[in-house]
A and B are shown apart, each in its own frame.
Chain A
């Protein structure tokens, strides 16, 4: 009976053993030996261990080294790809390696060529190959619209490549930015009004009008105007544009942990439209050519005429 049970359980435990060995290897990146495995999971016998290790080795998930008289097992990187790369030649592996080093910033085809010293035609073929195997992918960069960069298939492209939340297919979403800009401002304005109504003490009034960037982030997220998930930093960039617009002021709050919290509040404009701009000459495009007796003259000016009637 007991034997029966054991036979039935073996495959289960076998798989279990394999994952546990992998885990163990991950914890010790420098490698493990027989002893470590034995200490860690004494419930398995030698035979079970050997089969498991053999299987791992044959599927290419583990590497085996010799250190002194002992054998060391270590995780083999890029385990899954390695098997797929098997069919490819050394050049393919080289290109793959170069692209991998570039990380999620990607690498431009010309730079791959420099590094690999391959001919363009050859390189193109290899890249196509790798792409079709879904090992790498080409991503269009926002920095230069015609430039494609390559990176590993499973990587999320860096912000500098995609442009972050503000781009969809390399197009900058001006309108989206403007909408967010207005929404943030509305929120801050409302906050300032509530603060001014609620409190009589001037300092409390001022402090009440501030909102932290995460507060505004929550508000915007709840509004549901954004299709993409925005980070607090994204909202901060938007809030900065409001600061540049001169509608909002920024301030910092030193938290106990030492990091700074960014606070924002809407401010009232210092002046109304300046006096000059309340007559047509202020924004006149031909003011430099305008003179008494000239072709353009205040006596015959159409802007004046429209404005005065």
Chain B
């Protein structure tokens, strides 16, 4: 596991769940699955603390547990899941753009709690929505509306059930696993009012939740816990990337065509396959919304442009029935990943280096002399540029000796670029950068803690005055307790924090593209 990624995960957890949880997580990330005693010995934390910490981690689906051969329960952490918290704002935003405010709040609710019951989540969201609606003077909505939204999110697979738990003979939960049929992850529980069931005596649901639930009313859907389905979100992001790629490479119309092609093939395409399912030109044409006003002729033209384009977005696989097309998902991802790498090279080493870098990608392997000729860069400069990139492992050098003595004068020195390797280097830098941004942001907040606290207190007072129906003058007076220099300080702090948060999200975009590319690339490397 990459060092920077562990560090990033640690920072994220520390911010959201405190030092103890982060410490336990870091320990698990470094050493792999362990049982509680061992964790406690090394981290010097009390067993009680560790238990609580692990509860939190399980609740958020970061930690899984299993009983080992000796009958001791061991805990294993999923570092990827932890670092995905960086992406939470994007999940929430995505739900909002697709399905509106209720969906946004539902996703937020589930992300905050890790897992939750449909009834409880819907109830809370209804409450929150109504509070907001009341404040703006709009009529309230019913919880069934929110529940419908929940159903929709499940139907579109953005939400899924949590893993099913396994119990031993004495009904103690020992592990959890994915159900065999993926479809069962997306079945909604019966939720008619009044159909309150008796609590299942064998109690399903994670242990952390159980004790809490016992004292409350037993909700109708007890035991069926939900979480967000990150894979579905990622698939959506991936499709969005492909569409954006076409948008900027060709134009908006072509982007629309691809959007519809993705929608068409969505269900039929195997998950993680390099190409989409096939579709005919007639299918594509009929799937396009009429408002676009594209004639079949234009669609045909766009398809031919897309097939001929250097990014290779789609391919024609067969000429029958006017042509069968597939989307080359992997190829687009590769081009995109490469574009991001190139962007990095350009910013870090300059445009001349980028030229050399691309010459190497296009021509596979070259000697320095050839590089100079292709890139039209004089020897001295080329040597320096090559060295700069070589020192950071962006290009590799292979010696091919003509003779056995490996004398330099009789040796070819061949330069190459290994895209996957470079992608990993940059990914590592991304983790580091995101971690640094978090550290810096926390420091900025801590530095201005006094003023921020003051601002909070003032806000609270004003809110209570509002409720008491105080007049403007009184409020104004309270507001003025924050002095102008303090205001300025607050303003500066706010922009700083904003900038840093922005970079965290932007860096995560780079992370997402590179991770997705590497994932596909790994899946599709033939095993030697």
Contact = CB atoms under 8 A, between A and B. Distances in A.
Interface of A: 166, 172, 174, 177, 201-203, 206, 237-238, 240-241, 243-246, 249, 267-279, 281-283, 287, 290, 292, 298-299, 301, 304, 307-308
Interface centre among B374, B444, B506, B509, by most chain A C-beta atoms within 10 angstroms, is B506
Contact of B301 (A172, A201, A241, A282): A201
Contacts of B503: 275, 278-279
Given A244-B359, A275-B509, A277-B344, A172 B305 contact: no
B339 interface: yes
Given A245-B354, A282-B348, A299-B440, A275 B376 contact: no
Contact of B355 (A166, A241, A267): A241
Given A246-B342, A281-B432, A276 B439 contact: no
Interface stretch (B20-28, B33-41, B245-253, B481-489): B245-253
Contacts of B339: 269-271, 274
B316 interface: no
Contact of A202 (B245, B254, B378): B254
Nearest to B244: A271
Interface of B: 245, 248-251, 253-254, 298, 301-302, 304-305, 310-311, 335-336, 339-340, 342-344, 347-348, 351, 354-355, 358-359, 362, 374-379, 381, 426, 429-430, 432-433, 436-437, 439-440, 443-444, 496, 499-500, 503, 505-510
A244 B343 contact: no
Contacts of B340: 271, 274
Contacts of A272: 343
A185 B248 CA distance: 19
Contact of B343 (A206, A271, A301): A271
Contact of B429 (A243, A270, A287): A287
Q: Is the interface of B mostly helix, strand, loop or mixed?
A: helix
Query: Would you list the 4 A-B pairs with minimal beta carbon distance, nearest first?
Result: A275-B506, A281-B433, A279-B503, A172-B378
Interface centre among A203, A271, A276, A287, by most chain B C-beta atoms within 10 angstroms, is A276
29 contacts: A172-B378, A177-B376, A203-B301, A238-B376, A243-B362, A244-B362, A244-B374, A244-B375, A269-B339, A270-B311, A270-B339, A271-B245, A271-B336, A271-B340, A272-B343, A275-B509, A276-B344, A276-B426, A276-B430, A279-B507, A281-B429, A281-B432, A290-B432, A290-B436, A298-B436, A298-B443, A301-B440, A304-B440, A308-B496
B504 to A, nearest CB: 9
Given A203-B305, A244-B374, A281-B433, A276 B254 contact: no
A275 B249 contact: no
Interface centre among A177, A238, A243, A282, by most chain B C-beta atoms within 10 angstroms, is A282
A270 B248 contact: yes
A274 B375 contact: no
B437 A281 contact: yes
Nearest to B339: A270
Given A201-B301, A269-B339, A271-B340, A246 B354 contact: yes
Interface centre among B253, B304, B336, B342, by most chain A C-beta atoms within 10 angstroms, is B342
B507 A276 contact: yes
Given A270-B249, A276-B433, 17 more contacts: A202-B251, A203-B301, A243-B362, A270-B248, A270-B335, A271-B248, A271-B339, A272-B343, A275-B503, A279-B500, A281-B432, A281-B437, A282-B429, A282-B433, A290-B432, A301-B440, A304-B436
